[in-house]
Amino acid sequence: MTSPVFIAIDTPDLSRAQRLAAAVRPHAGGIKLGLEFFVANGPGGVRGLACEGLPIFLDLKLHDIPNTVGKAVAALAPLRPAVLTVHAAGGEAMLAAARAAAPEDTKVVAVTVLTSLDDGDLADIGVCDAADVQVRRLADLSRRAGCDGIVCSGAEVAGARAAWPDGYFVVPGVRPAGSDTGDQKRVMTPAQALAAGASMLVVGRPVTAAESPAEAARAIAASL
Ligand SMILES: O=C(O)c1cc(=O)[nH]c(=O)n1[C@@H]1O[C@H](COP(=O)(O)O)[C@@H](O)[C@H]1O
């Protein structure tokens, strides 16, 4: 079975990214490249990692007016990422524009409530519902817009999947028991998140900051 674990290769350094990808390759289903990597290395950097042979999740969390997001997705299409992120808060028309511009075999998934936010942080930005209610609201919106799935924490995935059984659920904020949570506030262990219904687990620092990233990735795969 293909591993559901994607390793977030969050570094601006292309050589380090290539070394990390090669180290985790036997134990991962794919790699995730996000803003830190993309701002430093651009599409050429993504192509440089594609040669590792792992599926690529391009996590750029696009969030702008529909025309701009649609054109940005069209510009990214030649990279043919397996998965691409947009922000659900951009609204239904923006989400639909992203889906329409993406290659058919690229999953477009919408970030609902960042795993670094708790209910107090949501209140600060004017969202007075709890995270699970907001995730459900944005999951419904993303589904209506034609997205393939959402990004949410492990705490919301069971509820979201119950309402969207064939959705694709990406779960970051994943921490092996006892590891440092850092800036993540809604966390679960890999096994818990998978049991709750995640399609993909995203793990970054617990692997990339480990003394042996290969061993850390192997241990996570073995825990599932
Ligand atoms: O879209 C994401 O991947 C994402 C959404 C979210 O709500 N929370 C979140 O942490 N992420 C990403 O998942 C990765 C988590 O990294 P670690 O906290 O180091 O495991 C980072 O690359 C984040 O950008």
ipTM reported for the complex, 2 dp: 0.99
Nearest to 55 by CA among 32, 38, 89, 24: 32
Q: Does the beta carbon of 142 sit less than 6 angstroms from any atom of ligand 1?
A: no
pLDDT, mean over the chain: 97
Residue 172 CA to ligand 1 center (angstroms) comes to 5
Q: Is 137 helix (H, G, I), strand (E, B) or coil?
A: helix
Residue 217 pLDDT more than 90? Answer: yes
Residue 202 CA to ligand 1 center (angstroms) comes to 7
Instruction: Write down the pLDDT at residue 221.
Output: 96
Q: Does the beta carbon of 112 sit less than 6 angstroms from any atom of ligand 1?
A: no
Confidence of residue 52 (pLDDT cuts 50, 70, 90): confident
> What is the mean pLDDT of the segment spanning 100-116?
98
Domain boundaries in the chain? 5-222
Question: Does residue 64 contact residue 90 with C-beta atoms inside 8 Å?
Answer: yes
Q: Does the beta carbon of 202 sit less than 6 angstroms from any atom of ligand 1?
A: yes
Residue 93 CA to ligand 1 center (angstroms) comes to 25
Instruction: Write down the pLDDT at residue 79.
Output: 97
Is residue 13 marked as binding?
no
Residue having the nearest C-alpha atom to atom 15 of ligand 1: 204
Reported as a single tens digit per residue, the pLDDT across 138-191 is 999 999 999 999 999 999 999 999 999 999 999 999 999 999 999 999 999 999
Is residue 115 marked as binding?
yes
Strands 149-151, 107-111: pairing is parallel
Q: Does the beta carbon of 85 sit less than 6 angstroms from any atom of ligand 1?
A: yes
- In the chain, what percentage of residues exceed pLDDT 70? 100
Q: Which residues of 155-176 are buried (b: 16+ CB within 10 A; e: fewer)?
A: bbbebbbeebeebbbbbbbbbb
Residue 1 pLDDT more than 70? Answer: no
**pTM, to two decimals:** 0.97
Residue 190 CA to ligand 1 center (angstroms) comes to 14
Instruction: Write down the pLDDT at residue 166.
Output: 97
Residue having the nearest C-alpha atom to atom 11 of ligand 1: 172
Residue 96 pLDDT more than 80? Answer: yes
Q: Does the beta carbon of 114 sit less than 6 angstroms from any atom of ligand 1?
A: yes
Q: Is 185 a catalytic residue?
A: no
For the domain covering 5-222, report its CATH number.
3.20.20.70
Q: Length of the chain in residues, anyone?
A: 224
* Catalytic entry in 61, 71, 107, 185: 61
> What is the mean pLDDT of the segment spanning 11-31?
97
